[in-house]
Amino acid sequence: MKNFILALLSGFILALGWPTYGFPLLLFIGFVPLLLMEHRVRTSSVGWKKLVVFGYSYIGFVIWNYITTNWLQYADVFGASFAILVNSLLMALMMVLYHSVAKRATRNISLLFIMCLWMAFEKLHLGWDFSWPWLNLGNGFSEYITWIQWYEYTGTFGGSLWVWLVNILMFKAVLTYRIAKSVQPLKKEGILIVSLIVVPILISLGIFHSYKMEGTPVNVIALQPNIDPYSEKYDVPNEAIADLLLKLTDTKINAETDLIVAPETVFADNVKISQLEDMYFKRKLDVYLSEHPKTNLLTGISFINFITDSAQIKEQSNKHSSGFWYDDYNSAMLLNQSDSVQLYHKSKLVVGVETLPYPEIIKPLIGDFMIDLGGTLAMKTTQEDREVFTTDNKNLIAAPIICYESVYGEFVTGYVRNGATVLAIITNDAWWGDTQGHKQHLSLARLRAIETRRDIVRSANTGISALINAKGEITSSLAYNTQGALSGTLISNDKISFYTLAGDYIARIAIFVALFVFLITMFRRSRVF
């Protein structure tokens, strides 16, 4: 029963520490009950210890995953169930691996292993086909941006390292107390724990209050059309969408407006790339921009490209029931008066909605299964490089970040390394309704601002659209489920943060350490406790 209670405690503590409603100080003790549970099992006479550790860990992680990400069910129940249950399973396996090492290594070595192993797991979640980095620990501080200004040097893995270091010291302090039955020996540990929490926050506060917004002011508008994707979006012709966007723009535009940003796939009626210039809605936009020659329009659009040459068929290409092949794109385009159309195709795709993971394995088992969220039910085709959009303002180069891409720190730095001076996030968070989903997604964008030291303009179909400065502060926003336009000024700059250059170096070091410790300890006999 004690082990069960410990597992429950970890699950609830981690959940209560999560944004946007939680207090992240709780994350510093979230893993302590699970570590105590594993220690109790390892030092007991119970059989099937690995299975016991897995079972209790799984209970705790399911609680954490369900409370924080159950909003996925409003888009698709199967997808939500898969994400919650499988992610919890992977987390529980981390505890089993820790248990295996802890039987053979010293306490400090085994705790070093679980810390590095967890960060290696988080790094895996950023890159493999089942990518789901939503619960990476460094994301947990997204609402407390004054604590983590040093993310410009470490990225979110600095936060993950921070969380684990404090949890480990807390766990060791509890074990010390259980042996000594007194708080006297804990004074030194207590000072170290408090210092490890307080000093990074103080450093961050110093950076926050001394940071200077340097660069060129640019005037932007974020559009929020508030179109219901379940009942309207894919039934409204692109011409009508263009009229709505221009109507909203008229409420805010002036002679100084540099950039207008519209949401992801707002032009949802698939357009053949080769026919874009001949589309009536495109001509409407061109006429409007000719009347506002300083202004640039960055918008989401759904493209399709029919393949006539079999040599052009890619792994992500789709075969229609009629036999022909085509590529389906979730794209961003930039229009202005001086350049040809600039395009970028979304490259971090939502599993099960936009891409089928490991198709060579999955297709033979379940066929071409994809979750239907409206529109064209097909795998999306991506591109290799992070495209940036040049504008008529030489000081403004925009990164067209599409929806889910904004969750990936190192991925976003690719836009900045390619010259982006402002981040433009276009998204459609309406699938989840008025839940924590769209709130958490907005909150994670604040981390990208700090990591890259770039201002952000965020256009979300149903909200929350927002302007975010390089310190991660939301300077203005439009409420969820409202229609309107948001205007304001961003600072465009070309400075490069350390994290932009170095990327997830902490995770790479952690992978090396975890692998080294695992290989060394697995050749040892189990220790006697």
Confidence at residue 364, expressed as pLDDT on a 0 to 100 scale: 59
Lowest mean pLDDT segment, chosen from 188-202, 362-376, 409-423: 362-376
* Interval 432-453 mean pLDDT: 95
pLDDT tens by residue, 93-135? 999 999 999 999 999 999 999 999 999 999 999 998 888 999 9
Q: Is 436 helix (H, G, I), strand (E, B) or coil?
A: helix
DSSP code, position 25: G
Band of residue 162 on the pLDDT scale cut at 50, 70, 90: very high
What are φ and ψ of residue 217, in 5° steps?
-65, 135
From residue 364, give the alpha-carbon distance in Å to each of 314, 322, 351, 359, 368: 18, 20, 17, 8, 9
Least Cα distance to 83 among 95, 68, 96 occurs for 68
| Residue 429 half-sphere exposure toward CB, CA atoms < 13 A | 30
* Interval 171-186 mean pLDDT: 81
CB neighbour class for 40 (10 Å; exposed up to 12, middle 13-18, buried from 19): middle
Confidence at residue 371, expressed as pLDDT on a 0 to 100 scale: 47
Whether 233 has a pLDDT exceeding 80, the answer reads no
Band of residue 234 on the pLDDT scale cut at 50, 70, 90: low
310 token code pair? 């079999």
Residue 6 and residue 450: Cα distance in Å, rounded? 35
Residue 441 and residue 75: Cα distance in Å, rounded? 15
What percentage of the chain exceeds 70 in pLDDT?
A: 93
Whether 524 has a pLDDT exceeding 70, the answer reads no
Band of residue 362 on the pLDDT scale cut at 50, 70, 90: low
CB 316 within 8 A of CB 304: no
Least Cα distance to 383 among 351, 339, 425, 415 occurs for 415
CA 42 to chain centre: 35
Give me the DSSP letters along 450-513.
HHHT--EEEEESSS--EEE-TTS-EEEE--TT--EEEEEEEEE-----HHHHH-SHHHHHHHHH
Confidence at residue 231, expressed as pLDDT on a 0 to 100 scale: 64
Whole-prediction pTM value?
Answer: 0.92
pLDDT tens by residue, 44-96? 988 899 999 999 999 999 999 999 999 989 888 888 898 999 999 999 999 99
> In terms of pLDDT, which residue wins out, 449 or 380?
449
Residue 420 and residue 448: Cα distance in Å, rounded? 13
| Residue 433 half-sphere exposure toward CB, CA atoms < 13 A | 9
Confidence at residue 244, expressed as pLDDT on a 0 to 100 scale: 96
Whether 381 has a pLDDT exceeding 50, the answer reads yes
pLDDT tens by residue, 82-96? 899 999 999 999 999
Residue 491 and residue 90: Cα distance in Å, rounded? 41
Least Cα distance to 409 among 264, 507, 304, 300 occurs for 507
Q: What domains, with CATH codes, occur in the chain?
A: 2-210+504-521 (no CATH), 216-301+332-350+385-494 (3.60.110.10)
Q: Where are the beta strands (DSSP E) in 67-179?
A: none
CB 266 within 8 A of CB 227: yes
* Interval 208-220 mean pLDDT: 96
Whether 373 has a pLDDT exceeding 60, the answer reads no
